[in-house]
Chains A and B, each alone.
Chain A
C-alpha cells in the first residue's frame, strides 16, 4: 500500500515570506497529524484532524500557522509570515480512525519537508 506522501521535500525561504506544505495520507486513514521536528528534538504535534474536523490544535501557533483538510483526505499546512525559528522538518502522519482517547493509534509517517528560513 502507498505510504504517506508529502511535498515539497525541501524548501528554503526568507523570513517574513509564506510557505505551504502538502500531505496525502494513506488511503482510508481518517486521522491526520502535522508535527514539527526541530533539529535535535523529537517531533512535536502541531495539529490533529479526524476526517475534516480539528481534534487538537493546542500547540499550533495560530498567529502564523494554519492548516486545513477540506475534503477529509489531503491537507495543507501554511506558515505566514515565517520566522527563523520555524526552520524544522514538518512531518505528516496518518492513522485509522480510533476513539480519541485510544493510545493504540498507530501512526504512519511521511518523509517530511525540511524548511530552512534565512
Chain B
C-alpha cells in the first residue's frame, strides 16, 4: 500500500532563509507525487506535482521539489522564505487514492 512520511513535525525558519521540507514515500510503481499547502482556516492549495520526466519540479510561490527515486524522496525547497509562507505543508502520493503525510508546520520568524 502507498504511504507518505514527513519526518519533521515542525520547522522554524528565519525570514529570508532557505527552507527544505522532507518527504519519503512508499509505493511500488512510478509514483504521482504532490505537495499541498494549508494556511490557517483555509483548504489545501496545490504547490506542485510530479508525474514523470524532469526530476526537478517548479511550482507556485517560488517552491520547487526534487524527486529522487533511489531515496524514495520528494523534498520541497524554497531559497528565500517570506513571512506569508508560514503554514502547514503536506506531501501526498496518488495511485487511485490520494494519501497524505501527517504534515509539517512551518513557522517564520522575523
Instruction: Report which A residues bind B (CB closer than 8 A).
Output: 4, 33, 40-45, 48, 56, 91, 93, 100-112
Kindly state whether residue B65 has any CB partner on chain A within 8 Å. Answer: no
* A102 contact set on B, CB distance < 8 A: 96
Known A42-B102, A103-B32; 6 more pairs at CB < 8 Å: A100-B96, A101-B96, A103-B94, A105-B98, A106-B46, A112-B42
Q: Which of B90, B98, B102 has the most CB of A within 10 A?
A: B98
Instruction: Report which B residues bind A (CB closer than 8 A).
Output: 4, 31-32, 34, 36, 41-46, 49, 51, 90, 92-98, 100-103
Which applies to chain A's interface (DSSP): helix, strand, loop or mixed? loop
Which applies to chain B's interface (DSSP): helix, strand, loop or mixed? strand
> A110 contacts which of B43, B93, B103 (Cβ < 8 Å)?
B43
* A42 contact set on B, CB distance < 8 A: 4, 90, 92, 100-103
* B34 contact set on A, CB distance < 8 A: 106
12 A-B pairs within 8 Å (CB atoms) are namely A4-B43, A42-B4, A44-B100, A45-B97, A48-B97, A56-B97, A93-B44, A103-B93, A103-B94, A103-B95, A105-B96, A111-B43
Task: Pick the 7 closest A-B CB pairs, nearest first.
Answer: A42-B100, A103-B32, A109-B43, A103-B94, A109-B44, A111-B43, A101-B96
Whether A40 and B102, one on each chain, are in contact in the complex, defined by CB atoms closer than 8 angstroms, is yes
